[in-house]
Amino acid sequence: MSQLSLPTTIAFMLYVIIVLAIGIYAYSKTKDASDYFLGGRKLSPLVAAISAAASDMSGWILLGLPGYAYLAGLEAAWITLGLTVGVAANWILVAKRLRIYTEMLDDAVTLPTYLQRRFQDSKVWLKSIAAISILLFFLFYVASGLIAGGKLFNVVFGLDYYIAVFVGVVLILFYTLFGGFLAVSWTDVFQGSLMLIALVAVPILVTGNLGGASAVVAQIDGTNPELLNMFTNAAGEPLGWLTIIGLLGWGLGYFGQPHILARFKAIRSGDETGVAAVIGVSWASFGYLMAILVGFCGIAYLNEPLADPETVFITLTSLVFHPLVAGILLAAILAAIMSTVDSQLLVCSAALAEDLYPLVVKKSLSPELRMKVGRIAVVVLAVIASGLAMDPESKVLDVVKYAWAGLGASLGPAILISLYWRSMTSQGALAGVLVGAFTVMIWSQLSGGIFDIYELVPGFILSSIAVVLVSLRSPAVSDAVGIQFDDMRTKLGGRA
């Protein structure tokens, strides 16, 4: 589908109109910074759960993961297993505590602000370093979404890759700027539903065309039987334990993803996190499974190897569906991209407006000014990320992998441990953020032996160790900090 198709164009335009309408409506409901960055903490469990899943499932769920399964076969199952466990652990271990704690701490909107208030830290280092870590790694994450958008418009419409990136940025900026968190969350529900429909529709039709699931398996077996073995790679070589641990380790990243944790903070009540968890975990795990099946269908259905494996979903959709239906399903890729990039831009702008800008100007900002600064930050960050995305040879999954590791290792242990350990200190949190970030940056540049393991795993482990060791060697937390922690546990119902 390299030439502009009228039915496909109609489908895309319909999608864009719906998204922009949601953004305009959300603008009328956005009054201050709390509304703009967290939607006034009024999300229902359904919206919070689907929004969390959709903001997680960026372009990699329709491009990167199917492309990986297309190349590696069942090896990709290890990633989906790790991600599913990670989603569940995040909802179970973090959601309720973070929702209660952030509201207690004078309505802490961002994770850096939460960490500062959690330890009543009068210094600027913890808050600043945490915010810088978010900005650094999120720029790569946003860039990965723009890369996916560039590939989409290039393949579907034949647009120049660079123009395609620009078109994607403009669309995302419109409703993120105007509607903020409400627009992002409401569109996530619409976009998440479209993504799931697309992930289900493609395998069903391709499988039907090939004569059923057994025919798909037989075709893959005839192509390369090693693709059906999750303990070997495509070349038939056994997967080492380092590779398997690295693939499973993707799940550790969830504890430090600000765009996902924002949904926990925005849910209507901590008591509703249980219902949201069931919805969120079911939604995410099913999406991962279907993404793998898309890759498998590509192996079975396509006679010629794809030059870019990450276009397997686009290629299958254009081959087996009517152009109008294909346009709707391909809009799901744009939905996947937008539902994540908008969330990430919003988190970055919050880090700038709430955490860094007040430190630079050395004064507190009014809610209206914070929202204005946040909107300006969205534009600036989008422009920078666009520059990082200007390489059409970049792989979506590779860029996501680095950003996911950086955020998971730098913020994850500090957030998780702070919710459970009364004696954790601000010095320990700062050490964890720094050690996690630098481990990922250094480890990702090395290769061979133990360095072949995904950098998130050693980063998360070393960051956790740093949090514990430095906290144990730091001055004890104040009585006020301890009492605040006890109050949070009381609000949980006395459970540790």
- At residue 393, the pLDDT reads 76
- Which of the two residues, 227 and 155, has the higher pLDDT score? 227
Domain contains 258:
yes
476 has pLDDT over 80: yes
**Residue closest to 457 by CA, chosen among 428, 432, 438, 436:** 436
Mean pLDDT value across residues 218-244: 92
Lowest-pLDDT range of 67-71, 265-269, 432-436: 265-269
**Residue closest to 195 by CA, chosen among 16, 396, 331, 390:** 331
Give tens-digit pLDDT for 364-414.
666 667 667 777 777 888 888 888 888 777 777 788 889 899 999 999 999
- At residue 253, the pLDDT reads 94
CATH of the domain at 308: 1.20.1730.10
Domain contains 404:
no
> What distances in angstroms separate CA 70 from CA 300, 372, 402, one per listed residue?
9, 44, 21
Instruction: Give the pLDDT band of residue 424 (cuts 50, 70, 90).
Output: very high
362 has pLDDT over 70: no
- At residue 371, the pLDDT reads 66
**Distance in angstroms (rounded) separating the CA atoms of residues 381 and 161:** 20
Give tens-digit pLDDT for 19-56.
667 666 665 655 555 544 444 566 778 877 877 777 77
Mean pLDDT value across residues 130-149: 85
Question: What is the extent of the structural domain holding 345?
Answer: 6-398
Instruction: Give the pLDDT band of residue 438 (cuts 50, 70, 90).
Output: very high
- At residue 27, the pLDDT reads 59
Domain contains 240:
yes
Helix axes 323-350, 45-56, angle to 10 degrees: 100
2 has pLDDT over 50: no
Give tens-digit pLDDT for 296-355.
999 999 988 898 898 898 889 888 888 878 777 777 677 667 666 766 777 777 777 777
> What distances in angstroms separate CA 231 from CA 74, 239, 285, 448, one per listed residue?
8, 6, 21, 20
Give tens-digit pLDDT for 441-456.
999 999 888 888 999 9
Domain contains 410:
no
DSSP state of 392: T
- At residue 496, the pLDDT reads 40
- At residue 465, the pLDDT reads 98
208 has pLDDT over 60: yes
257 has pLDDT over 80: yes
**Residue closest to 415 by CA, chosen among 129, 112, 139, 136:** 112
pTM of the model: 0.84
Residue in this structure with the two tokens 């970030």, named with its chain if needed: 437
Q: In whole numbers, what is the pLDDT of the chain averaged over residues?
A: 83
**Residue closest to 184 by CA, chosen among 386, 41, 338, 328:** 338
**Distance in angstroms (rounded) separating the CA atoms of residues 414 and 426:** 9
136 CB neighbour count, 10 Å cutoff: 16
Q: What count of residues does the chain have?
A: 496
Domain contains 358:
yes
Give tens-digit pLDDT for 180-207.
555 555 566 776 777 788 889 899 999 9
Residue in this structure with the two tokens 């700062």, named with its chain if needed: 430
Mean pLDDT value across residues 264-285: 87
Domain contains 469:
no
Domain contains 245:
yes
Burial of 9 (0-12, 13-18, 19+ CB in 10 A): middle
Please give the tally of structural domains in the chain.
1
Domain contains 104:
yes
- At residue 436, the pLDDT reads 97
**Distance in angstroms (rounded) separating the CA atoms of residues 197 and 190:** 11
Lowest-pLDDT range of 352-361, 396-405, 474-483: 352-361
**Distance in angstroms (rounded) separating the CA atoms of residues 263 and 421:** 23
Burial of 181 (0-12, 13-18, 19+ CB in 10 A): buried
